[in-house]
Structure 1
Amino acid sequence: MQQESPLFADFCTLLQTLSSQRGTEEKKKRLRRFIHTWRARYDDFLPAMRLLLPQIDKNRYRLKESKLAKAYIDSLGLGRDSEDAYELLKWKLPSSSKYSKSSGDFSAVAFEIIRSRSTVTEATRTVHQTVEMLDEINAASGNEKRQSELFKFAVTHYTAEEHRWLIRMILKDLKIGMSESSVFDVYHPQAKELYSVTSDLKKVCEKLQDPFARIGKSTIQLFHPFKPQLGMKQVPKNVKTVAHQGRFYIEEKVDGERAQMHYEKQSGKFKWFSRKATDYTDLYGSSTDTLDKLSGQIAGCLSADSFILDGELVAYDPQLDVFLPFGTLKSSALRKFHVYNREYPSHHSIVLVFDIVYCNGVSLIDHPMEQRIEVLQAVLTERRGCLNFIPRREGTTFEHIVRALDEATTNRQEGIVVKNPGSVYEPGARNHSWVKVKPDYIDELRDNCDLLVVGADFGTGKRGSKLSQFLLAVRDDREEDGDNPKFATFAWIGTGYTVNELDEFAKIKQHFKPYNPKAQPSWLVHPERSSESPDMIIDYRDSIVVEVKAAEIIYANFYGTGYTLRFPRFARFRTDKSWKDCMTYQDVVNTKREGGHLKFNISSKRPLTQDDFLNYKKKRLAIKTIKRKAGSSLIPNQIGTDSSYITIYTNLFEGINFYVVSGDETSSKGELEKTIKAHGGTYVQSAKNAKYVVAGSNINGNIFLIDHQRQTADVQITFNNTGVRINALVQSQEHDIILPKWILDCVKAQDIIPVTPKYAVFLTSATKEKLRESIDPWGDSYTDQLTEQAMREVFDNIDIIENDASSRLVEDIQRKYFPRAEVPGFLFQRVRALLDFSSIINTNNEPITKSMTEAARNDRLELADLRLRSQGGITFRYLGDDNSKLLSDITHVVVDEANIRNIINLTHAFQGLPQPRFVTSNWITDCLENKSLLDERLYEPRAQAAPMLRKISQLLSL
């Protein structure tokens, strides 16, 4: 009888050999010998194949380096403040300890630490046993206690060398220099082909166990999943790579789930599979007879005997005729179609088809795409809202791609896909015949920034112990000083450069020094407690300028500028420029004020260069200078507060004109004008040229920026004194009117804070429209992190919504998104509970002296009250007859089971009304624990009270 499998240590020796050998062919020779020996001695190669290719194994451990570090600290019994624990947690940083050579490779750091502590000297575990343990670790995902037990077992049964490879398998990166294709080629010449059409390692190992076996040409089969063809993520600089006879297809890229639909007319059978071969047939329907699911709805659209379609499953709102976000797909799939009237639910799943790969028993993967599209249109009839063809157009030039992407961006679509009409369909392949283009990574359509390298971080893997991520800065021209310049941090880059370009960065490595946030150099402007602080910094005089590509400028408080770049990527070195030529802070501010997007005019057919950008800046400064000179002729009483003696500290408000109508109790009009001037702004005595109008103590009342229906709220202000001027400005609808607090908060943050509702007296329609994109109706930002103070302010802005309206809203949400469960956070939304406080409150609604028992009962009811209301319930307290008119709406009465006499009195109070459920507070506790409403009969007051209550209820019903 053959053994089950070899020792895992022998398998680790193979991996170490493959990792150290150079050249793919040499690696293949060594792996081929191992597989030959395995086939001769053992039966099933699947366990070894899963360990060789962890990246495509179905296990999803959900463990990264930080969690693994904590698991090993616990398993090895390391002190949290010990040197070894620090090395595990800070594995990326270069170390001066005995583990210095392992820095940047977590598995190597862990190996060194385990080796110095492990008592396991002899390998005993087999490959098969190791796979079983990894399966258990995967099954315990989310169960920290069980995972801890498994890691403790591993520490006492595996050697340090074995742990090195266990860790790499869990992280799904063996680092042996062999791709999935190379491993398949060694195992069997048809392994890669078979896996592409089956997505099943088990089938590959079973069918190709004999190296001399041949299974004929592997092709896709009906009702068997295959790996779909994928697109490249890049910009087609040369359209010839995707063109056939000078033309190409441009398709809309949809934010859905890739799916393949299998259908056979004779049996009426359907099968639905995801990109990773997950069977979704239960969700989308198994036959033409399941009319309440998608398969039954599209049966009339199909005219072929059998086929396999490639497409996307998306959530769809028929009322708005729009596709919904990806996160709503599963809940949409659960919603059933109406069988008899064939009406659509409020939202549901649909299939968007873009290719056909099998029809009437014939595989079409070797036919060109343009022919497959002809077949697709011949055998399918589009039924909008159920089965749609993906939007497609033809193009011939790069400008067609640019315009299509611009339209997709305008329509807030994910992007486009450019396809070669003459290409065949290659299952599992990712090649240049399909190219995905998104705004996020199209470099040719973005402006470039010249930035100075001021800091760096160490990389991982091949970049371990190397500076591979770089902190960039702009010249801070808020305080011009040619002899002592300052630089404000702006963004990080970690992508875009080649290995050779990374070596170019190494030429300045000797100038880097460790960064200490508490001893920051005077030339660097960077928040001391920033989460984006570097490991090392470099003096600006020893550094270099790099050109960076990016999508847009966004707010970011953890950089010295208060801004950063979205999707920054390295473009090239600017050896022709020094720190004096890099981008300035004011350049950043100007670009952000103009929308933050770094775009160029498509008709120019070239990106906007940095020189264009700087020339534009000079023109803007010249215009500002002319305006300032013209303003100096105003007479003194028009200028307002004398500002000739005021020192300018910052350029925070540079280029912004304020019209201060009045101050408030914190700052007078004059003090506000001085503050504006001290921070680079300008104040005027007319609203005509002002960007902001400031009004304080003369305004009584409030204006809601946006009401709950997203409509413009009516102006509700009570004026006095200067109210006439404010009223006129409000009526003109041309100026934003803000509170003085906004100016003071901007100065405090040294940043231009967005004007949210808490700062608004009145906002124009244009400003409101812009704000609706970034904040909700109550002033809560969609992107900024919510602080405790901000949360309090948001709550203060929230109107009290009528209970009935609130309930209807929650019920509508439940119908749409939670048809089979309670809405999270609204478990008790249908509960209107009366809490029995009557025994501890007198007729004057004043607390009376309580015994210890009564105090405990009171505490239990108070806790029940909080728990009910926190989950959407409505509560009342029994205070004589004050709430008698509400008794008919009561659904539950929460009582203390020890107070039987009062339970009877409460029962009498509902005489002639619908009888509520009487429950103890334990019902609330258990409902919360089980996340479901439980049977109230199990929580009636204790046994001796229950029969009495039922008898009284029977008498009352007579």
Structure 2
Amino acid sequence: MDSDEIVPEPRNVEEDLDEKYPNRPHNTAPTLPFHELYLNLFHPLSQIKKKPATTAPAKRKVGSSNKSATHQSPYELRRDVIARFISRWRKEVGNDIYPAFRLILPDKDRDRPMYGMKEKVIGKMLVKIMKINKESEDGYNLLNWKLPGQSSTRMAGDFAGRCYDILSKRPMRTEPGDMSIEEVNEKLDKLAATSKEDEQIPIMAEFYRRMNPEEFMWLIRIILRQMKVGATERTMFHVWHPDAENLYSISSSLRRVCWELHDPNIRLEAEDRGIALMQCFQPQLAQFQMHSFDRMVSRMQPTEEDPVFWIEEKLDGERMQLHMAPDDSVAGGRRFASWSRKAKEYTYLYGNGIYDENGALTRHLKDAFVNEVQSVILDGEMVTWDPEQDAPVAFGTLKTAALAEQRNPFTNGPRPMFRVFDILYLNGKDITKYTLRDRRKALQRILRPVHRRFEIHPYQEATTTTEVETCLRNVVAEASEGLVLKNPRSQYRLNERHDDWMKVKPEYMTEFGESLDLVIVGGYYGQGHRGGNLGSFLCGLRVDNPNSSQPEKCWSFCKVGGGFTAADYQEIRHHTDGKWMKWDSKKPPTEFIELSGGDAQHEKPDMWIKPSDSVVICVKAASVGVSDMFRMGQTLRFPRFKKLRKDKNWKSALSIQEFLDLKSNVEQEHREKEFNVDNSRRKRVKRAVKKALTIAGYDEKENAQYLGPSGHIFDQLNFFIMTDASYPEKKSKGELEQLVKANGGRIYQTNTAVPDTICIAERRTVKVASLLKSANFNIVKPSWLMDCVKQNEKDVGLPDLLLPFEPRHMFFIMEDRDEEININVDPFNDSYARDTNVDELKEILKQMEINKKQSNHSLDPHTLHKVESHIQAKIDSGYTAPCGWLFRGLRFYFSTQTPSANGDGASSKPEMDHTPICVARNTARFASANIATSLKSPDVTHVIVNPATMSREDIISLRKSLATRAGKKIPHLVSLDWVQESWKNGTLLDEERFSVSR
């Protein structure tokens, strides 16, 4: 080396940051002590969170100020606490608040990687650090934080709270510690930089030595990124700077928010308010589905001149943004970067350039763009595609497929495929302000799709609800995620949920809902208000082999935790008390319960119970999906508890073979229905079903050996059954005959054997066609038999009642006999004698000629969508849904009087005391329900009544009013108890349990 050559000094991190952020602020004093965070911020905010929404004003002393804290809303009080802390920081430390915000908003700090430490790992570390015996009470409580404590259930389900409980017994310090915020950040950076336990334990031990128990509790919450202080990042951002939220939306960088917006008087320039190349942003999200297709479509059609909206299939993958910029280091080269919706960078996985040998995607994109394209930002979905099946694979396999593609890009195995549905940036220009229609035109002009690796996501133009329903049925048949409706006239809205994009998922639609009777075989301890008790249950299907040496055995099938009331939990505990056993992973009870994964024991419960000691519960679900986490290889999607089946034991619960038979029958019914509904003139080609269909048609059905309750409904009646049944349940001719015999009827194989024989048929077979020629008797559908049985099964304890024939029950009616059939239903075919189910009522409403009227909303839609977006984002991150979110998306009509003839809920009767109605209405409003002022509102989902103040005639009149209301959907008619019990239990309960049927 020449002596004249100057060796540059190594640059430090601070110099690199100064170069990248030349205007970043610098603090003039050391950061505040860490304990100031919890004393002056976390603890005060948590206390406000616990206060009720409204408080009585305190008595003021003479001469006191008119302005009192008790007069401020909780939101204002939180802003005051945050503003005081920020003001103190500026005054005592400086304008660089980034060190504090990294600890206040740990889940928004993208610069610090994940720690790779969950509750179980931290618990084991603390046991070692504090030298606690694992078998001691504190050791047990720390390692089994979800389980009730050995001496009490305090803090069960709250890991940080339980740590505080144990640390406070043996603190290294009782007074607040001396660690500064800067020191804590340095230690946390080291903690995140290693995954080795022997390097992590000394860091955690130093925290333990230098912090008091309350400080350490908040540190654990920071590590777990579960702060729960009652104030959101949006509130923090708004207090810090008016443009902070906007900058975070376009950058996903907490560092930029703190450094570029340190002066609240300097606003973002116009050019800094849009997205930038190679800079992650927060994408637009789809709004949640409304309960009415009509309402959704009306939002998509703001003008009659252009009523078109787009329908896209909702993909089961990972939302991804792909950035491309020129690469000056290589001739004609391009460099890429990709980020997920949560701002996690995946460039290492999918590639940083077309010559990146580790790129699972970008190496295939050399010819994917026209020559004129220099830079671009694309928005889309990364999915796993199986070339052999030529079909997408479940989302959980995406990373595995990408790693396999990195190793060998030329195999025919599953691979990542990027489906592009939007373009936001092109050749140096932000185009988010252009309409979706214009952006899609640009996308199609610049892209050259790479088959099954890089494709433009297709869409279908539509104008009616019928087209949405047809598409939804198609995606259900193929087990797809659902649909997304898009307004082609809309701009792209960063970090917002808006009506311009709406998702429609099959699991939201009650017509695809299902009920199955399953046996509880395991339990999981809950968190929060369910802490210390079993909050969810593992349900199984009975193994079909009565001759087996292990007859009492179930396969794991699904996990159910929603829809339970406190009374439901209490009743399950009552029936199973003293029968639960702790799950031992070393000695699993395989003779009774079989899990998936072999030794891995997927979805293993905390406690287990023998099937013969357990209870059977009726479970509602959206659909059936493939899952390797349960022994069945399939599971229920979005299951919800419906009711406890006290009339069943484990032997009469659904078995494996019964479930498979049921699933097969339902798939066949769906295929037949799909074939028959097409009334077009063109010959329809049936599409092969690639995946499992949603189960439908199983409504509290007993197992295959149980054909219905025995009784005397058909005593002294004679039957001639000619065909099997496909609706409402599929039964063979033999099963129908057994059903009749079990209920007192007599079976003959001809209609002339005895007089007054009732002929049963559903299809026009040769025998049926021959009998129809005589035309001297009616022919009844098998559905009448099942309706009679079902109705009497509901009316247990009452005399057996034979239902009169209805038009829907008749396969053939003799001449001049229509009147005696039609008299049993109202003008809309609603039965007078039989309980009509929801599907029938929906069909009744579809046949009515109605005038549609749209509701007027006084709320600011923009503000409402921002609030909804924020709350849903927190729920998606694992937070429990807040109580004010319970009835979001529902529209209630509270009936306080007998409806008048015009159906608007008014009457000349004097008003009664409606205090319970008022309480329920206020509760519903607080929990985000929309309140309708008239039954004419087309999107009412629930009609709420107080049965104590209504007579039988009132309720009958109300039901008739519902039959004439506008709209396609029939609302639930429920009592006030449904609102109060759902609110009390923090979950939507099954409406059938609170239906008004007087």
Q: Give the TM-score taking structure 2 as reference length.
A: 0.52
Pick one of 110, 117, 135 that aligns with 1:63. 117
1: CA distance, partners of 2:388 / 2:521 = 53
Structure 1 residue aligned with 2:227: 174
Query: 1:250 deviation in Å?
Result: 1.2
1: CA distance, partners of 2:593 / 2:28 = 64
Pick one of 22, 30, 34 that aligns with 1:4. 30
Structure 2 residue aligned with 1:608: 696
1: CA distance, partners of 2:45 / 2:635 = 39
Structure 2 residue aligned with 1:251: 313
Question: For the Cα contact (< 8 Å) 1:548–1:572, is it kept in 2?
Answer: yes
Question: For the Cα contact (< 8 Å) 1:447–1:598, is it kept in 2?
Answer: no
Letter in 2 for 1:129: E
Matched length: 606
Question: For the Cα contact (< 8 Å) 1:140–1:146, is it kept in 2?
Answer: yes
Q: Deviations over 1:187-242 (max 9, x none)?
A: 22211110111111111100111122211341112343322223467687536436
Question: For the Cα contact (< 8 Å) 2:554–2:594, is it kept in 1?
Answer: no
For residues 318-357 of structure 1, the aligned pairs below 5 Å read: 326=398, 327-330=400-403, 332=405, 351-357=418-424
Pick one of 558, 568, 574 that aligns with 1:505. 568
SS of the aligned residue for 1:55 comes to helix
Structure 1 residue aligned with 2:636: 567
Query: 1:128 deviation in Å?
Result: 1.3
Structure 1 residue aligned with 2:647: 579
Letter in 1 for 2:338: F
Question: For the Cα contact (< 8 Å) 1:351–1:388, is it kept in 2?
Answer: yes
Cα distance, 1:382–1:475 mapped onto 2, change above 3 Å: closer
Q: Tell me which structure has the larger Cα radius of gyration.
A: 1
Query: 1:167 deviation in Å?
Result: 1.1
2: CA distance, partners of 1:434 / 1:583 = 47
1: CA distance, partners of 2:557 / 2:454 = 45
Query: 1:289 deviation in Å?
Result: 13
Letter in 1 for 2:202: E
Cα distance, 1:79–1:525 mapped onto 2, change above 3 Å: closer
2: CA distance, partners of 1:315 / 1:52 = 37
SS of the aligned residue for 1:427 comes to coil
Query: 1:180 deviation in Å?
Result: 2.7
For residues 81-480 of structure 1, the aligned pairs below 5 Å read: 81-95=135-149, 97=151, 100-122=153-175, 123-141=177-195, 143-217=196-270, 218-231=273-286, 238=293, 240-241=295-296, 244-245=300-301, 247-251=309-313, 253=315, 255=317, 258-263=320-325, 270-275=335-340, 276=343, 278=345, 280=347, 284=351, 294=363, 297-298=366-367, 301-303=370-372, 306-312=375-381, 326=398, 327-330=400-403, 332=405, 351-382=418-449, 384=451, 387-396=454-463, 400-401=467-468, 404=471, 416-431=483-498, 433-435=500-502, 444-450=511-517, 457-465=524-532, 467-470=534-537
Question: For the Cα contact (< 8 Å) 2:419–2:456, is it kept in 1?
Answer: yes
2: CA distance, partners of 1:117 / 1:222 = 52
Q: Which has the higher contact order (CA 8 A, sep 6+)?
A: 2
2: CA distance, partners of 1:510 / 1:450 = 18
Structure 2 residue aligned with 1:646: none
Structure 2 residue aligned with 1:80: 134
Question: For the Cα contact (< 8 Å) 2:616–2:653, is it kept in 1?
Answer: no
Structure 1 residue aligned with 2:974: none
SS of the aligned residue for 2:367 comes to helix
Letter in 2 for 1:19: S
Query: 1:27 deviation in Å?
Result: 2.0
Identity, % of aligned positions: 25
Question: For the Cα contact (< 8 Å) 2:554–2:611, is it kept in 1?
Answer: no
Structure 1 residue aligned with 2:10: none
Query: 1:427 deviation in Å?
Result: 2.0
2: CA distance, partners of 1:528 / 1:328 = 32
Query: 1:510 deviation in Å?
Result: 7.3
Question: For the Cα contact (< 8 Å) 1:71–1:148, is it kept in 2?
Answer: yes
**What is the RMSD computed on CA atoms of the aligned residues?**
5.1
SS of the aligned residue for 1:297 comes to coil
Cα distance, 1:550–1:306 mapped onto 2, change above 3 Å: closer
Cα distance, 1:455–1:274 mapped onto 2, change above 3 Å: closer
Structure 1 residue aligned with 2:103: 51
Letter in 1 for 2:44: T
Cα distance, 1:363–1:158 mapped onto 2, change above 3 Å: same
Structure 1 residue aligned with 2:820: none
Letter in 1 for 2:216: H
Structure 1 residue aligned with 2:955: none
Cα distance, 1:356–1:477 mapped onto 2, change above 3 Å: closer
Q: More displaced, 445-454 or 527-536?
A: 527-536
Question: For the Cα contact (< 8 Å) 1:515–1:536, is it kept in 2?
Answer: no
2: CA distance, partners of 1:394 / 1:583 = 51
SS of the aligned residue for 1:197 comes to helix
SS of the aligned residue for 1:353 comes to strand
2: CA distance, partners of 1:53 / 1:302 = 43
SS of the aligned residue for 2:323 comes to strand
Q: Give the TM-score taking structure 1 as reference length.
A: 0.54
Query: 1:434 deviation in Å?
Result: 3.6
Cα distance, 1:622–1:227 mapped onto 2, change above 3 Å: closer
2: CA distance, partners of 1:582 / 1:238 = 40
Letter in 2 for 1:219: G
Cα distance, 1:84–1:287 mapped onto 2, change above 3 Å: closer
Question: For the Cα contact (< 8 Å) 1:416–1:436, is it kept in 2?
Answer: yes
2: CA distance, partners of 1:96 / 1:305 = 65
Pick one of 536, 542, 552 that aligns with 2:624. 552
Letter in 2 for 1:552: V
Structure 2 residue aligned with 1:26: 77
SS of the aligned residue for 2:245 comes to helix
1: CA distance, partners of 2:388 / 2:636 = 35
Question: For the Cα contact (< 8 Å) 2:164–2:213, is it kept in 1?
Answer: yes
Structure 1: stretches of 5+ with no match in the other structure: 338-343, 480-485, 629-958
Letter in 2 for 1:251: E
SS of the aligned residue for 2:321 comes to strand
Query: 1:386 deviation in Å?
Result: 6.5
Letter in 2 for 1:608: A
For residues 522-541 of structure 1, the aligned pairs below 5 Å read: 527=592
Query: 1:5 deviation in Å?
Result: 1.1
2: CA distance, partners of 1:283 / 1:269 = 14
Cα distance, 1:353–1:96 mapped onto 2, change above 3 Å: closer
Question: For the Cα contact (< 8 Å) 2:374–2:427, is it kept in 1?
Answer: yes
SS of the aligned residue for 2:178 comes to coil
2: CA distance, partners of 1:319 / 1:541 = 46
Letter in 2 for 1:329: A
2: CA distance, partners of 1:610 / 1:418 = 30
Letter in 2 for 1:128: E
SS of the aligned residue for 1:222 comes to coil
Letter in 2 for 1:5: T
Query: 1:541 deviation in Å?
Result: 12
Question: For the Cα contact (< 8 Å) 1:517–1:528, is it kept in 2?
Answer: no
Letter in 1 for 2:310: F
Letter in 2 for 1:228: P
2: CA distance, partners of 1:257 / 1:231 = 12
SS of the aligned residue for 2:495 comes to coil
